[in-house]
């Protein structure tokens, strides 16, 4: 087996670890949380993604697109060994994997780190020295959990994991570290929820056309103020682009006034739509999907900034009079019912 351990940076919020797990589900269904990291068994995915190096580059690229700060990444035949290598990414990389594991300090394995003080008195500073100690006295003194973790790290015992599964819908909450009185300040905390959302959509191979951001007001609010507030962000087409959603949400929050200090955020996306992966066109033009997406993103922000009635879209109508052959609707306009021959294929 081939395991990969993914760790976020130390300053990353806990929601980023969940997002990292959902991101890994785009590459393999065998993903699990292991202490502070995410581990994934990718032996069956290496050929699909053209080897370990290409898979690693793809992981790092998608983590960057999703806004996740990937702190460390390591490979090993077991999940615990991969986690140990990720914790000490700057350790010596030459030699067989079990020899490199022998040279790691006790802090690389949580079960050994718990007894570090006692083991240090015995002159045991590395995992290799711990493995050479007599097993029976070691089990009597420290319990069987230490030997079990040690054997699992070296592949002598099988590991048991609870595999991650994707929920049917996205709904995440975040308690704010302080009471926020101005809506634009909420954007910084909303980005913490947008990153898991984009990772979730990537694992689902889906996108959204609407998402809802709600906030809970402080309990010490005025009596005539409701307990919560919310806003709905809609896009012109299906997307999971983090930067696009962040910019559009910033436009909405800049025009929102909080009735009281907010203490909690909630981001939800109830309706998921399939997102077709399209390659870039060799010759950019009106038919280029990337150009259409860029235009829609600009019109979305202008519609919020100027008002829905001041950004209009012209649509043709069957009328012989020149002045009535087209009508202008607020953008994005709802498309009228068309004959079947003009409908896009599914």
184 and 272 together in one domain: yes
What is the number of domains present in the chain? 3
138 and 29 together in one domain: yes
Give the tens place of pLDDT for each residue, 181-203.
Answer: 898 999 989 998 998 898 888 88
271 and 142 together in one domain: no
| Residue 162 covered by a domain | no
31 and 121 together in one domain: yes
Residues 6+ apart with CB under 8 A from 272: 169, 170, 201, 204, 206, 207, 208
Residues 6+ apart with CB under 8 A from 256: 183, 231
174 and 301 together in one domain: yes
212 and 292 together in one domain: yes
Question: Cα–Cα distance between 75 and 66 in angstroms, integer?
Answer: 22
In the predicted structure, residue 149 carries a pLDDT above the cut 80? yes
Give the tens place of pLDDT for each residue, 121-134.
Answer: 888 888 988 888 88
> Is the distance from CB of 78 to CB of 153 less than 8 angstroms?
yes
Question: Cα–Cα distance between 252 and 272 in angstroms, integer?
Answer: 22
| Residue 268 covered by a domain | yes
| Residue 163 covered by a domain | no
In the predicted structure, residue 271 carries a pLDDT above the cut 50? yes
| Residue 165 covered by a domain | no
Question: Cα–Cα distance between 299 and 249 in angstroms, integer?
Answer: 14
12 and 145 together in one domain: yes
In the predicted structure, residue 281 carries a pLDDT above the cut 60? no
Give the tens place of pLDDT for each residue, 47-84.
Answer: 888 888 898 888 888 888 788 878 888 899 999 999 99
In the predicted structure, residue 209 carries a pLDDT above the cut 60? yes
Helix axes 186-204, 52-66, angle to 10 degrees: 140
135 and 206 together in one domain: no
> Is the distance from CB of 62 to CB of 23 less than 8 angstroms?
yes
| Residue 192 covered by a domain | yes
CA dist 26 → 67, 151, 251 (Å): 16, 30, 31
147 and 58 together in one domain: yes
Burial class (CB in 10 A: 0-12, 13-18, 19+), 119: buried
Q: Which of 311, 284, 280 is nearest to 297 (CA)?
A: 311
The per-residue pLDDT for 279 is 57
Question: Cα–Cα distance between 271 and 254 in angstroms, integer?
Answer: 25
The per-residue pLDDT for 152 is 92
Residue whose tokens read 């718990």: 114
68 and 106 together in one domain: yes
Residue 146 in tokens: 């230490």
Stretch 333-341: mean pLDDT, rounded? 48
In the predicted structure, residue 233 carries a pLDDT above the cut 50? yes
131 and 174 together in one domain: no
In the predicted structure, residue 95 carries a pLDDT above the cut 80? no
Containing structural domain, residue 67: 3-153
Round to the nearest angstrom and report the end-to-end CA distance of the chain. Answer: 39
| Residue 63 covered by a domain | yes
Domain stops at, among 153, 182, 200: 153
| Residue 44 covered by a domain | yes
In the predicted structure, residue 341 carries a pLDDT above the cut 50? no
Look up the CATH number of the domain holding residue 247. Answer: 3.30.1490.100
333: Cα separation from own chain's centroid = 32
The per-residue pLDDT for 278 is 61
| Residue 133 covered by a domain | yes
Stretch 264-277: mean pLDDT, rounded? 84
SS3 label, residue 281:
coil
92 and 217 together in one domain: no
In the predicted structure, residue 39 carries a pLDDT above the cut 90? yes
Question: Cα–Cα distance between 138 and 165 in angstroms, integer?
Answer: 37
């Amino acid at each position: 087996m081939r395991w990969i351990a993914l760790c976020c940076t130390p300053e990353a919020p806990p929601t980023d670890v969940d997002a990292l797990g959902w991101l890994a589900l785009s590459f393999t269904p065998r993903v699990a949380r292991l202490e502070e990291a995410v581990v994934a068994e990718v032996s069956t995915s290496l050929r699909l993604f053209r080897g370990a190096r290409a898979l690693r580059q793809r992981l790092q690229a998608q983590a960057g697109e999703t806004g996740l700060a990937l702190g460390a990444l390591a490979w090993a035949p077991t999940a615990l060994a991969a986690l140990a290598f990720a914790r000490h990414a700057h350790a010596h990389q030459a030699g067989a994997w079990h020899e490199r594991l022998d040279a790691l300090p006790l802090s690389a394995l949580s079960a050994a780190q718990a007894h570090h003080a006692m083991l240090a008195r015995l002159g045991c500073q590395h995992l290799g020295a711990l493995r050479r100690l007599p097993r029976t006295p070691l089990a009597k003194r420290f319990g069987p959990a230490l030997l079990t973790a040690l054997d699992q790290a070296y592949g002598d015992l099988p590991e048991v994991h609870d595999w991650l599964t994707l929920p049917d819908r996205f709904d995440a909450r975040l308690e704010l570290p302080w009471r926020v009185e101005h809506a634009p300040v909420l954007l910084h905390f909303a980005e913490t929820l947008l990153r898991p959302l984009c990772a979730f959509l990537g694992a689902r191979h889906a996108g959204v056309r609407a998402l809802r951001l709600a906030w809970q007001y402080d309990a010490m609010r005025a009596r005539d103020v409701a307990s919560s507030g919310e806003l709905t962000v809609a896009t012109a087409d299906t997307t999971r682009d983090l930067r696009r959603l962040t910019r559009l949400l910033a436009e909405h929050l800049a025009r929102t006034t909080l009735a009281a200090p907010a203490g909690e955020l909630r981001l939800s996306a109830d309706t998921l739509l399939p997102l077709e992966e399209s390659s870039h066109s060799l010759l950019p033009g009106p038919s280029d999907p990337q150009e259409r997406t860029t235009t829609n993103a600009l019109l979305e922000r202008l519609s919020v900034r100027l008002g829905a009635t001041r950004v209009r879209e012209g649509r043709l109508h069957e009328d012989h009079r020149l002045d009535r052959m087209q009508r202008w609707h607020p953008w994005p306009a709802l498309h009228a019912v068309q004959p079947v021959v003009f409908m896009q294929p599914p």
